[in-house]
Amino acid sequence: MKSALILGVTGQDGSYLADFLLKKGYNVYGSFRRTSHRLFERLEYFDILDKINLVKLDLTDPISINKVIKETQPDELYNLAAQSFVGISFDQPILTTNVNATGALSVFETVKESSNHTKIYQASSSEMFGNSNEIKNEFSRMNPASPYGVSKVFAHKTAQHYREAYGLFATCGILFNHESPLRGLEFVTRKITHNIARIKLGYDKKLFLGNIDAKRDWGFAGDYVKAMWQMLQQDKSSDYVVATGESHSVKDFLDYAFDYSGLGDWKDFVEIDKKYFRPQDIDDLVGDATKAEKELGWKPSITFKKLIEMMVDSDIKLINEHVF
Ligand code: NAP
Ligand code: F7E
User: Could you tell me if 142 and 272 lie in one domain?
Assistant: no
**Which ligand lies nearest to the CA atom of residue 37 in the structure?**
1
Q: Quick check: is 290 in a domain?
A: no
User: Could you tell me if 112 and 30 lie in one domain?
Assistant: yes
Q: Quick check: is 111 in a domain?
A: yes
Query: What rounded mean pLDDT belongs to the chain?
Result: 97
Q: What CATH number is attached to the domain comprising 197? A: 3.90.25.10
- For residue 162, indicate whether it is catalytic: no
Catalytic residue among 29, 148, 162, 240: 148
- 87-96 tens-digit pLDDT: 999 999 999 9
- 165-175 tens-digit pLDDT: 999 999 999 99
Q: How close is the Cα of 39 to the center of ligand 1, in Å? A: 13
Question: What range does the domain containing 109 cover?
Answer: 3-178+218-242
User: Could you tell me if 122 and 212 lie in one domain?
Assistant: no
Say what the pLDDT of residue 159 is: 98
- pLDDT tens, position by position, for the chain (324 residues)? 999 999 999 999 999 999 999 999 999 999 999 999 889 999 999 999 999 999 999 999 999 999 999 999 999 999 999 999 999 999 999 999 999 999 999 999 999 999 999 999 999 999 999 998 899 999 999 999 999 999 999 999 999 999 999 999 999 999 999 999 999 999 999 999 999 999 999 999 999 999 999 999 999 999 999 999 999 999 999 999 999 999 999 999 999 999 999 999 999 999 999 999 999 999 999 999 999 999 999 999 999 999 999 999 999 999 999 876
Residue 315 beta carbon below 6 angstroms from any ligand 2 atom: no
Catalytic residue among 127, 151, 224, 314: 127
HEC profile of the chain: CCEEEEECCCCHHHHHHHHHHHHCCCEEEEEECCCCCCCCHHHHHCCCHHHCEEEECCCCCHHHHHHHHHHHCCCEEEECCCCCCHHHHCCCHHHHHHHHHHHHHHHHHHHHHHCCCCEEEEEEEHHHCCCCCCCECCCCCCCCCCHHHHHHHHHHHHHHHHHHHHCCCEEEEEECCEECCCCCCCCHHHHHHHHHHHHHCCCCCCEEECCCCCEECCEEHHHHHHHHHHHHCCCCCCEEEECCCCCEEHHHHHHHHHHHHCCCCHHHCEEECHHHCCCCCCCECCECCHHHHHHHCCCCCCCHHHHHHHHHHHHHHHHHCCCC
**Which ligand lies nearest to the CA atom of residue 270 in the structure?**
2
Atom of ligand 1 nearest to the CA of 99: 18
Say what the pLDDT of residue 324 is: 66
